[in-house]
Amino acid sequence: MISLLIVDDEKIIRKGLQSVIERQFPYLFRYRFAENGQEALELLRQEPADIMFTDIRMPIMDGIELLEQLQDHPVKPEVVLLSGYNDFAYAQKAIRCAVKDYLIKPVKRGELFAVLERIMLEIRMREERADAADEEASLSAAELVTLHLTQKDVGDALTPDKAGLSWLDAGYTLGLLTQSGAGSQVSRSDAAFFKNQINELFQGDGDWLLTRDGEGGTILIARDPVMFYRLAERLRGSESQLRIAISDSVQGLEQIRWAYSQAKQTLKYRILLPERDVLDYASISERNERHIVPVALIRRLLNLIGMGRGDEIKQLLDRILDVRVISSCEIGYLERISQLLNEELFDELFRIYGHKVLGLLRTYAHVGHIGNFDRFEDYYIAVEQLLDRLDRFIQDRGEKAPTEPNTMQKVVAYLQTHYANDLNMAVVSNHFSLNYSYFSQAFQEYSGESFSNYVRRLRLDKAKELLVHSDLKVYEISEQVGFENVKHFTRLFKDTEGITALEFRNQRRQKVEPRLR
């Protein structure tokens, strides 16, 4: 496993990063945590880390000082800097300390995953180069293919003719070998087993090559595509559970990346075509039918979680993951649904309930990516089970939440004090450990208006007090009472009061001043 150290003084950031990464890359990382640079250094002295994510601003020892201290460390991790401040000066210091990347909080999932995938690729390539150096100093035919796949500059060190790969010019098919439940990963020992099986099966006849792809995967290149079907048939029903995704026929080493990209795309369809042990690009490339991704249904699903309406949740899930639609569409349609379930549902639940639901989300981390499943039915069942457990967990928590009469009084008092902060219903309900849906209904019943209307009215009332009793400018008042920008404030003020903020100030002061005389 890859060792990942997360350094941040906020626990919710540390655990939040772990939750998001685990659902995208389950069982791939071993996590450790530190609250500051000093604690991180101590952990690194005990055991090195492959990758380290560190915040910049932390007590005791900040991220920059941690990086400077690491320069003399014998084994340095690959470092990704996290910061809530888009500060170029910090970035410059980080560059001098050989930081791999610099991410701004709140970290976007796509950027986080892209950075991790790039670093993991570099780690794998280093390991494979080290293995190759131990076995043989010179480049082999298999290494030449791997170098082309990973877009490395081979130079004049080796050519297809010198490597015995001239047969590629006549045409070949590339296959990506996989095992059930292993994504695109095949262990080195299993790769050796496959090589022996191929040798026995074809007894030295035919042109073929077994190699690695630089990402931990195993590829088989063969002149005759029938080889893939014969290999799959030989191993059918064995413990290896081999499945192969193959490209169209191409010619020349320069087409290797194109063929590999076809095989990788084809491999994604194994979840929809579990009965096939050989998937070919030609059979999936004609899937052009597109369908509108059900974003609204996924957001509606979020509103039902914790309400104890399991039947409605099941009906919505059936509509979202409609197998009739999914089986006829490109795999990108299912990938997009999976992504939205993560971002609009599971991530949002974590944002609302924090570490309270982290245990459940970690238990079902494999739900985060469809590539972790061999059958669509298995993915559907896993999502259904997670939704059911989240619904029951949050419902129970809502039923146990404080419901005494003065709860909403405390909420209102909190709003009266913190009205200028960045308030929303999720933040406030979580602060009082109340179920999100319960909170919405209880607040409406108590105050007679929705949460957003109440906060808006409260801020306007505070603004009117400042307009009359202070000399602050309108934009200063807008900022002090919690509005995002003055344009929004002035427009809302006029819509509500019928006059502008300045007209309101002049009118009220004219009424007050005669009394003072």
Share of the chain above pLDDT 70, in %: 83
260 contacts 213 by C-beta, under 8 angstroms: yes
- Please report which confidence band the pLDDT of residue 262 belongs to, taking 50, 70 and 90 as the band edges: very high
pLDDT greater at residue 283 or residue 192? 283
- Please report which confidence band the pLDDT of residue 462 belongs to, taking 50, 70 and 90 as the band edges: very high
Q: What would the mean pLDDT of 176-205 be, rounded to a whole number?
A: 66
User: Top-level CATH class of 160-284?
Assistant: alpha beta
Q: What would the mean pLDDT of 321-341 be, rounded to a whole number?
A: 91
pLDDT digit string, tens, across residues 138-179: 357 777 787 777 765 555 555 677 667 888 999 999 999 887
106: which residues sit within 8 A by CB, 6+ positions away?
A: none
SS (H, E, C) 36-101: CHHHHHHHHHHCCCCEEEEECCCCCCCHHHHHHHHCCCCCCCEEEEEECCCCHHHHHHHHHCCCCE
Most confident of 234-238, 407-411, 493-497: 493-497
- Please report which confidence band the pLDDT of residue 132 belongs to, taking 50, 70 and 90 as the band edges: low
Whether pLDDT at 22 is above 60: yes
Q: What would the mean pLDDT of 307-327 be, rounded to a whole number?
A: 92
Share of the chain above pLDDT 90, in %: 32
471: which residues sit within 8 A by CB, 6+ positions away?
A: none
Whether pLDDT at 341 is above 90: yes
- How many residues does the structure list for the chain? 517
pLDDT greater at residue 212 or residue 354? 212
317 contacts 383 by C-beta, under 8 angstroms: yes
pLDDT greater at residue 516 or residue 233? 233
CA 358 – CA 350 distance, rounded (Å)? 7
Looking at residue 96, its pLDDT comes to 55
pLDDT digit string, tens, across residues 377-419: 999 999 999 999 999 888 877 644 444 457 788 888 999 999 9
Looking at residue 284, its pLDDT comes to 86
Whether pLDDT at 317 is above 90: yes
Q: What would the mean pLDDT of 466-486 be, rounded to a whole number?
A: 92
Q: What would the mean pLDDT of 233-262 be, rounded to a whole number?
A: 86
CATH code, residues 2-107: 3.40.50.2300
CA 159 – CA 167 distance, rounded (Å)? 12
User: Top-level CATH class of 407-512?
Assistant: mainly alpha
Please state, rounded to an integer, the average pLDDT across all residues of the chain: 82
Q: What would the mean pLDDT of 421-433 be, rounded to a whole number?
A: 80
Whether pLDDT at 181 is above 60: no
Looking at residue 190, its pLDDT comes to 59
pLDDT digit string, tens, across residues 358-378: 788 888 888 888 888 889 999
Domain ranges of the chain: 2-107, 160-284, 295-397, 407-512
Range of lowest pLDDT (33-47, 202-216, 333-347): 202-216
CA 144 – CA 168 distance, rounded (Å)? 13
Interhelix angle 501-516/451-469, nearest 10 degrees: 50
Q: What would the mean pLDDT of 481-497 be, rounded to a whole number?
A: 91
Do the domains at 2-107 and 407-512 have one common CATH topology? no
